[in-house]
Amino acid sequence: MINNLSHTIFITSFLIVFSIVSFGQGKPNVVLIISDDAGYADFGFQGSTMMKTPHLDKLAEQGMIFRQAYVTAAVCGPSRAGLLTGRYQQRFGYEENNVPGYMSKSCLPDKEMGLPLDQVTMGDYMKSLGYKTGYFGKWHMGNADKYHPTKRGFDTFYGFRGGARSYFAFNEENPNHRQEDYLERGFGGFREADKYLTYALADETASFIEKHKNEPFFVVLAFNAVHTPMQAREKDLEAFPELTGKRKYLAAMTLSMDRGCGVVLDKLAELGLEDNTIVIFTNDNGGPTDTNTAINDPLSGTKANHLEGGIRVPFLMRWPGVVPEKSTYDFPISTLDLLPTFFVAAGGSLNALKEIDGVDLLPYISGKNVRRPHQTLFWKKENRGVIREGDWKLLRFPDRPAELYNIAQDIAEVNNLAMKHPDKVKEMYKKLFEWELTLQRPLWQLQRKYEGKAMKRMDAYRK
């Protein structure tokens, strides 16, 4: 799985870096970049010939591409809750998107929906190791003041509290009436940017890096690109004369996001920080093939369902001297693994992490541990549930028989093997149920008319 580097040399370099970290010297900086609603195939490094992503393609060349990277949910709020805590979000009741106005009468009011305050975040853990922490972009972990990023482990915040907003400044021509959509600097400093939002977020991230160049820093850059609304600069649209409609806008928005990544990556190079910075790029869930015409090939499925196209995402990692260039990793990993990987790389002990479900990836990607990081992974949303065990994947539905696939042989999930392997279905169904018994009841739920959209998307792939 590791290319262009002998196992012996790699293990030696890994141990040297690990020993340096263990003695508290040369702590690596960490930059985590998250796109929003991007299609699995909509990047050059993923094989697209239509999208222009030169900066991310270069990042892929400089590090490792993870071929089976998974998020913990097929929609953004729960997925981000799992990523930030290293725990299955269902363990603390964050099973649905916290979207104001979408909740049933029996559930929490809008102001109470958010990442529970007893959960420890990446920001909290990295601060405990002496890191300066910054969060830039989409938060979506609760709109109320008590859920604010600056109260959840982040020293610096520049972004918006909600789940989506305009890429252009709110003004008389582009009005807005929801506080959670406004750009906010720090706590309560609401002020709109005078530039396209993707570039504003990237520039603020680069400024944070420059300010803290002489001390270890942890940065999350959570773009709202390429989530709706489909809004792009005219200059970026002009780069795709062959495209029309939503696809043209998606390409332009992807180009601007790639440029935003370039701003941050160039700043690291300018300051001489590349060699001592872990950079991760990934996406929050599968691409929505209806609202922004994302392409998830060769995967079936889309945002909001549990086929591979809803939960498998692009994933890159660069750490010179530790992660080999032009390499790939083929076993399944999860965004649950980001927190323990960062924490251990920064000199922390896994024993200090509370009840996490992720694993430290460094021994696996180094080749020191040749087993799978995860033999079993789970997903759940109301009555829908999924278990992947090894290469087998079972999908449970509330209104139809379960489906079983061998992902290694059938990445597109077109050959349902449930009838051929009833014992395997029974075995996996039981393990899924046992996992569900460890979970908390959802703190809130979407109304059925919204939940139904996800089922309709999945039905479309069955016709």
Q: Is 63 exposed, middle or buried (0-12, 13-18, 19+ CB in 10 A)?
A: buried
Distances in whole angstroms, Cα of residue 299 to Cα of each of 35, 287, 343: 19, 11, 32
Task: Confirm whether 76 is a catalytic residue.
Answer: yes
Return d(Cα 226, Cα 76) in angstroms, integer. 12
Residue 367, helix vs strand vs coil: coil
- Give the distance, in angstroms, between the CA of residue 373 and the centroid of all CA atoms in the same chain: 18
Q: Is 288 exposed, middle or buried (0-12, 13-18, 19+ CB in 10 A)?
A: buried
Question: Which residue from 141, 194, 145 is spatially nearest to 167, judged by alpha carbons?
Answer: 194
Q: Which of 55, 76, 212, 261 is catalytic?
A: 76
In the chain, what is the straight-line distance between the N-terminal and C-terminal CA atoms, in Å? 37
| Two tokens, residue 188 | 């309560």
Contact 336, 327 (CB under 8 A): no
Give bridge partners of residue 222 from the DSSP assignment: 34, 137
Question: Which residue from 10, 55, 101 is spatially nearest to 316, judged by alpha carbons?
Answer: 55
Question: Which residue from 220, 209, 77 is spatially nearest to 137, judged by alpha carbons?
Answer: 220
Q: Which of 7, 55, 107, 140 is catalytic?
A: 140
Residue with tokens 């696996």: 364
Question: Which residue from 274, 287, 236 is spatially nearest to 258, judged by alpha carbons?
Answer: 236
Angle (nearest 5°) at CA 62 between 357 and 53: 90
Angle (nearest 5°) at CA 37 between 249 and 155: 110
Return d(Cα 337, Cα 83) in angstroms, integer. 8
Q: Which residues are catalytic?
A: 76, 140
